[in-house]
Amino acid sequence: MNLLSLRGVSTFYGAIQALRDVSLEVEEGEIVTLIGANGAGKSTLMMTVCGNPRARSGTIVYDGRDITQVPTHLIMRQRIAQAPEGRRIFGRMTVRENLVMGAEVAGHTDIAPLLDQVCDLFPRLRERLTQRGGTLSGGEQQMLAIGRALMAKPRLLLLDEPSLGLAPLVVRQIFTAIRTLNRETGLTVLLVEQNAHQALRLAHRGYVLVNGTITMAGTGAELLARPEIRAAYLEGGH
């Protein structure tokens, strides 16, 4: 069953149209990746799912319910979590406070085990629980942003460029963690990645976004094999 589906969604910033008639499906238990050049509208799509900015036309259905007009904070309480572009951690709160907020959005009250799981995934965070978020290094902040999203134990995880600024080893750890969570707990993931090669290898399916329009869709392997994809997104790649 589709956990998330967008039908003919258009989003505007003032007079600028950032998404044009976008339709996309994410099935329960799937990892779906969205690739596209800078400014294609990937982050806008992720944020539109969360209702900020709101879709001007089209419908967004999550878990069988139309959430197109639902206020952002109520959408997020339905176990959708996003680690947004630019990390957006709370710099003047402690690492622990940041993480706790991630858990509370989903109504979890037993925080300790969740905190443990996330700290097992990112041991750096455990050492820094009482430190202020703003004093973490860039990579640590990225870990915190992802950790905060995982604290919700989401059904649908929206990850916007999780590998940004992280060392290759840590990136591999994160990708492995995503795959493990997906296999073992059925976590559904919508992933935006600069590193299209790794993303397409991880994902079950992918969509290509060009200037706010979806131009191609297919399984990760299919897209990886397409010459136009290789030319546009994988040149000089690994």
Partner 1 sequence: MIYGLIAVGYTMVYGIVGMINFAHGDIFMVGSFLSLIALLSLASLGITAVPLALALTLLFAAGLAALYGWTVERVAYRPLRGSFRLAPLISAIGMSIVLQNFVQVGQGARVKPMNALLPGGVELMNDEGFAVQLSWMQIAIVATTLIVLAAFTWLVTKTPLGRSMRACEQDLKMAGLLGIDTDRTISLTFVIGAALAAVAGLLFLLYYGVIDFFIGFLAGVKAFTAAVLGGIGSLPGAVLGGLLIGLIEVFWSAYFSVEYKDVAAFAILILVLIFRPSGIMGRAEVEKV
> Given the rule CB under 8 A, which of 27-35, 65-73, 175-183, 205-213 is the region that contacts partner 1?
65-73
CB environment 101-121: b (16+ within 10 A), e (fewer)? ebbebbeeeeeeebbeebbeb
Q: Site for partner 1 (CB under 8 A): which residue of 93, 177, 232, 234?
A: 93
Q: How many residues does the chain have?
A: 238
Taking contact as CB under 6 A, which single stretch among the options 23-31, 33-41, 55-63, 149-157 is the one that binds ligand ATP?
Answer: 33-41
* 158/196 with CB nearer partner 1: 158
# of chain residues touching ligand ATP (CB under 6 A): 12
99 binds ligand ATP (CB under 6 A): no
Give first-to-last CA distance, the chain, whole Å: 34
* Burial class for 186, CB neighbours closer than 10 Å (0-12, 13-18, 19+): exposed
Residue 212 Cβ vs ligand ATP, minimum distance, rounded to whole Å: 7
**CA dist list (Å): 186 to 31, 80, 120, 168, 179:** 10, 14, 19, 26, 10
Out of 38, 112, 130, 236, the only residue in the binding site for ligand ATP (CB under 6 A) is 38
Is 200 a binding residue for partner 1 by CB under 8 A? The answer is no
**Residues that bind Mg ion in the complex, under the rule CB under 5 A:** 43, 85
